Structure 1
Amino acid sequence: MTIAPQRVVTLHYVLNDEQGAVLDDSRARSAPLEYLHGHDNIMAGLERALEGRQEGAELTVTLAPGDAYGLRNEALVQEVSRAAFPMADLTPGMRFQTPGDDGPQIVTILDVHGETVRIDTNHPLAGRTLHYRLEVLSVREANRAELVKGHPLSADVAASQVEDRKVP
């Protein structure tokens, strides 16, 4: 079966930066990535590269910053009040996920100076060229519940969704 919209794809990947350093490896977590093709579950550049591929395909994809996490925007580096953070101990490099206008965003603490905290709300990989090695493990039709939710469901959740729809 080929990768196309409305299909669930399971794959392993290795993500490297420009210098070849491994940033993420699905095998290191022993859990492959599963996504619903055509539903913005992964970056558009990766979806385009995977479109039409079949189970067993192996490919390398390079994404420029504009096709990945975007270009860095220095306007997203700003100073905020220390009071915006409820935790007592803030250190540079700490990251938090917060709600944003366009969905969740990652906030990175850059510096802490008394009652002022300098933060960066660019994605940590913004401005970087990313290199992916992909291995397609399986491709299947999405079930109705997955299409409604817009993402793959675990086997247990999908089964319960089907059970809930049965008429007594």
Structure 2
Amino acid sequence: MKITKDAVVKMHFSVMDDEQNTIDNTYDGEPLEIISGHGYLVPGLEAAIADKKAGDTFSVTIEPEQGYGERHDNLTQVVEKSMFEGMDIDVGMQFRATTDEGEHTVIIIGIEGDEVVIDGNHPLSGLTLTFDVEIVDVREATAEELEHGHVHAEGGCGHDH
């Protein structure tokens, strides 16, 4: 079966940046299972798996606009450390912040004295990424999986909706 919208895809992947640093890898663990065409993958990878079938392996390089987007300098700002009063904070910590556009994840990228530098960009934004992919299995999604919006393990999803 070829991968089409609403197909359940089981796949292994590794993803590297421009300098060949591995960012993520499923080959040492369980493969990723997704319902194709539902936004679980970045657009460039979603397009690259279309029409593939079980057993296919390939590499694809994805530019930022088809990956996690371009970086936006206006999403980085300096805030007073007092905003984190009572908390032990460190570089790399993530928080949910309320903005005019709703809830948004921000990451602490620097702490300088009484100032904290936060970044609202996705950590992989602005990066060209190379994915090495192995399609392990492809099957039709069940009606229940499509209704729930996620892949179910054998015997159901194990929770109430």
Instruction: Return the TM-score normalized by structure 2.
Output: 0.87
Following superposition, the deviation at residue 145 of structure 1 comes to 1.6
Following superposition, the deviation at residue 79 of structure 1 comes to 1.6
DSSP-derived class of the 2:46 partner:
helix
Amino acid of the structure 1 residue aligned with 2:25? D
Change (3 A) 1:12 1:99: farther
Question: What is the match of residue 4 of structure 2?
Answer: 4
Q: Which structure dedicates a bigger proportion of its chain to strand? A: 2
Following superposition, the deviation at residue 18 of structure 1 comes to 0.4
Identical columns (%) = 32
For the Cα contact (< 8 Å) 2:76–2:118, is it kept in 1? yes
Return 5+ residue gaps in structure 1 as ranges.
Answer: none
Aligned mates of 1:154, 1:97 — CA distance in 2: 31
For the Cα contact (< 8 Å) 1:39–1:151, is it kept in 2? no
* Alignment deviations for residues 130-157 of structure 1 (CA, whole Å, 9 cap, x no partner): 0000000000111112101222122243
Map 1:105-116 → 2, pairs under 5 A: 105-116=104-115
* Alignment deviations for residues 89-126 of structure 1 (CA, whole Å, 9 cap, x no partner): 2222x231526677874422122244431101111111
Map 1:49-60 → 2, pairs under 5 A: 49-60=48-59
How many residues align structurally? 160
Aligned mates of 2:80, 2:105 — CA distance in 1: 17
Aligned mates of 1:13, 1:104 — CA distance in 2: 30
Question: What is the match of residue 21 of structure 2?
Answer: 21
Root-mean-square deviation (Å): 2.4
Amino acid of the structure 2 residue aligned with 1:20? Q
Question: What is the match of residue 138 of structure 1?
Answer: 137
Return 5+ residue gaps in structure 2 as ranges.
Answer: none
For the Cα contact (< 8 Å) 2:97–2:106, is it kept in 1? no
Q: Which structure dedicates a bigger proportion of its chain to helix? A: 1
Question: What is the match of residue 146 of structure 2?
Answer: 147
Amino acid of the structure 2 residue aligned with 1:41? Y
Amino acid of the structure 1 residue aligned with 2:20? G
